[in-house]
Structure 1
Amino acid sequence: MGKIILEKNAYSFDQILKGNWEEGDTYFNEALHFCQSWLQGQDSFLLQTSGSTGIPKTITVDRIQMENSATATRKFFRMAKNPRLLCCLNTQMIAGKMMLVRAMMWDADLILTKPKENPLEEELVDGEFDLVAMVPMQVASCLSQNPSLQKLRKIKTLLIGGAPSPKSLLELVSKENISAFQTYGMTETVSHIALAKIAGTELVYETLPGVTIGIDLDKRLWIEAPMSKEKRLQTNDLVDIVDEKHFMWIGRSDFTINSGGFKIQPENLESQIAPTIEAYYGKVEFFLFGLDDEKLGQKLVLVIESNRTDNEKAGKLLYSISDLVHKYQIPKEVIFVKEFVKTPSGKINKSETIKSAK
């Protein structure tokens, strides 16, 4: 029978069901209480959305949705019996909770660690895992340190999600031959409904078994899936449909910037200019945003997380960017913010960050 392994203790699912564990750290305790509720047959759970595109909200997710998601993922990867898993994501959010659910449904051995920038630094974590899920920041940190990189290479399947991976990260993952997939999903679909094998910078997503996709008149993706409560879930994601099981993600329609009649997808543009920004400012966080403008309707601005405002360097950066993109894609201004506002799941809250800069 599978078990959950913590920093100092290991508990079988039978022990967790009966509540036979040592009460200790609050984070681990809450995760074990969730597992106990699941093992006792609880039918619904309250989860908080990430808040990356609006105000975070609490939604109710049914047990059957989570079961369907875990089953579809197992079929997609043809997961062997009694796999070994690592959960290094926040178990208060859907991605972390689903790692716990997979462990219980797959009768797996799961190592549970607190979320940190480099989860492979932990002595308990050796890299010999069948499945691990991380956010892009964690993967980048693991790639930057040789001991962690060696562990990363041992992972049979690495899921990267929570946010789009920068082009530079996709290139590194491919170069190091890491067996990794970019995920596509949301809290409403209890984790991913599609996965893209990372082999270069062009990602083509393949849907999980049982998932049907299509687009509306505005090319926004809709989903019909056994892991979704809604019969048809309409998203704000702009996609190109390749065939009935594959699509390419373009960006979010609600992030589209209309500047002087030109429509700009900031996510695509961000990946283009990322190496140039790194050349000037190092590995800083940044994003593109559309501010209201009387002449253009919206003007494109570049927002960089930095304690220093250097207008001369910013001017040189914009000049360099002008060599890479169309003239209407050149930011009209660079805004420096000391610290970006983040959502509970660690994503950048762009609207609140812009407000904090004013």
Structure 2
Amino acid sequence: MTPPNYHNVHNKFKLNGFHLNEDDLCRVAYSFIKEGEDFEKHVGDFLLDWFNEKPYLEILTSGTTGEPKIIKVEKQSMVNSAIATGNFFDLSPGNTALNCLPVKYIAGKMMFVRAFILGLDMDFIAPKSSPLQRNDKKYDFVAMVPLQAENSLLQINQIKKLIVGGVRMSTSLINKLKKSKCDVYETYSMTETVTHIAAKKIGEKAFTVFPNIEISQDDRHCLVITSENLNVNKIVTNDVVEMVSDNQFIWLGRQDNIINSGGIKLIPEQIENKLSTKLKGRFFVAGVADDTLGEKLVLFIEGDQYTLDSNIFDDLDKYEKPKEVKFIANFPETETGKVKRTEIVASIS
């Protein structure tokens, strides 16, 4: 069956309770741009760009591993991605959804595209850290970043299916979410692949890729992604993975974060996972230049200095134990809330 064109707006689509077609959405866009708040202006710009004659959008990447940059993403690829999401999560026309993500970036834009194409009844709100505060409505499908999920634990049962992405969830948050009735999934995504291309239910080890996605590894054991549907031809990532099957992988960490300490290769994300139930607040481990080891493992903790419990490193292997602990008052972040590890490490080197 031929997928819908990107100008198609499903007749079941609703925005904040109102049925809107293409013309209606363009009028809303002009109103947002002229009179809306900052987060609404981004929506207005997106809507006008979506319904113009160009077959692509120019989208800002999140800047996780470098400076944010503009890339071109085909609108039909975004439609195909929306359909894949709908099939994977069994979404139907008329299902309720909440968009609480910034539309400046691909994740927030894609919630709109899913709503247009799949015919979702979507509420759109400001991208705040506690999106369900003073909201008792029930939703079939919601996307959040981990901070939003953490701040919504008391209301999480209002959601039938929740996808969490942007940054990795801590073990502590996963354990809290497991206690809810909500079906929670962690997603694997990037701007270049039109948001997520794989997901796993919390508690599972391996991500399962969506249909029409091909995965492999390069000689660094990093994930390589190909998808004709998404106009993606062998995107080579820096994500170190363990291949489980042709359509499943276990994410281990970032190649550019790997620490070589005295000839021992350490994956920070695996160490952080072991520490996540022992430390409160934000932290990370990284390699810092050392005359003897080449790189020494350092634990960075956000906040005022305090004395760590003596058993905090008990679950770590010999070489995984930090040589030093640094306290940083406030971690600098990207616009999407991701910690700027490289900048922090450079500031103490």
User: Does the alignment reach a TM-score above 0.5?
Assistant: yes
Q: 2:166 aligns with which of 158, 162, 172?
A: 162
The alpha-carbon distance between structure 1 residues 122 and 229, as it changes in their structure 2 partners (threshold 3 A), is: farther
Q: Which residue of 2 aligns with 1:104?
A: 116
C-alpha contact 1:337 1:357 (8 A) present in aligned 2: no
Offset, 1:320: 2.1
Q: 2:181 aligns with which of 158, 177, 183?
A: 177
The alpha-carbon distance between structure 1 residues 42 and 16, as it changes in their structure 2 partners (threshold 3 A), is: farther
C-alpha contact 1:220 1:239 (8 A) present in aligned 2: yes
Offset, 1:174: 1.3
The one-letter code sitting in structure 1 at the alignment partner of 2:326 is: I
Q: Which residue of 2 aligns with 1:352?
A: 343
Decide which moves more: 31-40 or 77-86: 31-40
Gaps of 5+ in 2: 1-10
Q: Which residue of 1 aligns with 2:21?
A: 13
Encode CA deviations 1:164-200: one digit per residue, 9 max, x unaligned.
11111111111223201100010100100000011x2
Q: How far apart, in 2, do the equivalents of 1:141 and 1:260 lie?
A: 40
Q: How far apart, in 2, do the equivalents of 1:236 and 1:164 lie?
A: 15
Offset, 1:14: 3.8
Encode CA deviations 1:8-61: one digit per residue, 9 max, x unaligned.
x85723443442564322321330331233234541111111111122211111
Counterpart mapping for 1:1-358 below 5 A: 1=11, 2-5=13-16, 10=18, 12-20=20-28, 22=31, 23-123=35-135, 126=137, 128-143=138-153, 146=154, 148=155, 152-198=156-202, 200=203, 202-226=204-228, 228-278=230-280, 284-306=281-303, 308-310=304-306, 313=307, 316-317=308-309, 319-357=310-348
The alpha-carbon distance between structure 1 residues 342 and 89, as it changes in their structure 2 partners (threshold 3 A), is: same
Specify the SS of the correspondent of 2:233.
coil
Offset, 1:221: 0.9
C-alpha contact 2:213 2:225 (8 A) present in aligned 1: yes
Q: How far apart, in 1, do the equivalents of 2:46 and 2:26 lie?
A: 13
C-alpha contact 2:46 2:103 (8 A) present in aligned 1: no
Q: How far apart, in 1, do the equivalents of 2:265 and 2:166 lie?
A: 25
The one-letter code sitting in structure 2 at the alignment partner of 1:4 is: L
Specify the SS of the correspondent of 1:19.
helix
Q: TM (normalized to structure 1)?
A: 0.88
Q: TM (normalized to structure 2)?
A: 0.90
Aligned residues between the structures? 334
C-alpha contact 2:50 2:57 (8 A) present in aligned 1: no
Higher normalized helix content (fraction of residues)? 1
Q: How far apart, in 1, do the equivalents of 2:340 and 2:230 lie?
A: 25
Encode CA deviations 1:301-342: one digit per residue, 9 max, x unaligned.
011111x234xx1xx44x423422112111111111111111
Offset, 1:255: 0.7
Specify the SS of the correspondent of 1:156.
strand
The alpha-carbon distance between structure 1 residues 320 and 106, as it changes in their structure 2 partners (threshold 3 A), is: same
